[in-house]
Structure 1
């Protein structure tokens, strides 16, 4: 008989073993298994409906009723494409949601300072730009010092320059706090710029899995990255522009 195994708090990063998830008659994940090492940065790509967001929701504990085992070690935090800030609460209050203790305000303000929003603590969310709102969302996720940080296309709605700034910020925060990061994205170049490992989901299973070569500082001009980009596009069933 198939069983669902709850997600205990461990220090082993992320473990997914033989997970199958369906919505009615539609199967989204099929016997999916993967492991993410503690402190690693992994990007997951795939066409719409391949199971990326479903995987993230399972890891975040936001969805259940699945078969298999899911373990996400330690505290888990999520940043979504939409910042999901409460418009009726000031920015520092949004960041402090769920925190307890006498130093809640100090912790929230320290997190805002870390993402460059020290001067926005008392602002209302609707006065923030898109990039500022996403920074506040990251502060809210990181203020709890999570062991696992899940990013669900958090840069998709940003303009190109703001997205690049957010890339640098996320990498800086990752190096500083060392969570296990899982980034869900549709952008191949974003995945190659940020992650150390890239996965492709197809029909609810991992169809492609590769380490990203080269240090981030030299990736843009690396032949190895160019070759990996071509392989990723092939795995995603996308032909390069010159072949269309």
Structure 2
């Protein structure tokens, strides 16, 4: 039997209606309601942490990055200090992978917080990865691996934040986004989420300081990935992926 699996993209399933008997719609983004209304699936697969109105026919544990991101810390352990040396910094300096969203997406614009001014005061060295450049050169697919090579991640992207946190990377997400998968990660000590426009009342500085202290601590203690049965559950549903 043929099967079509679409993640957050309804038109492929609409086109397959009447042609393919089994049409799976997979999403973890509650606010993508336009796509949810357009889709014509036979099955709807959602994470157990889902907080939206769309009803599932099937669910999976954990969050999607746990199915496709390598959940080990070997790359960072072997590369520790390498980024600092390449940039010409002291190995004691914190080097952070930074990806800022440009906005303009169907649902992300209302979620964006303008944090440019406040992060300039942080005592870290940022390595920038612009959303527009990643979309052009295809490097967005490499972001989860790139993120592991740095002391931490600062971003407005919920996807990159989740991909980083599950790998044990100390991550500061600055976004008003609400997602079930962010709720799932909320109790991880290396994940901090600022979700307000006001960055100047002192509370954000406290969170930023906590994030920087976590980066320093993790250098000594090592990283702990966030592991769940996500990959096994998806393999049970769809079979092993073709190498």
Q: TM-score, normalised by structure 2?
A: 0.29
Q: TM-score, normalised by structure 1?
A: 0.28
Structure number with the higher strand fraction is 1
Q: Which has the higher contact order (CA 8 A, sep 6+)?
A: 1
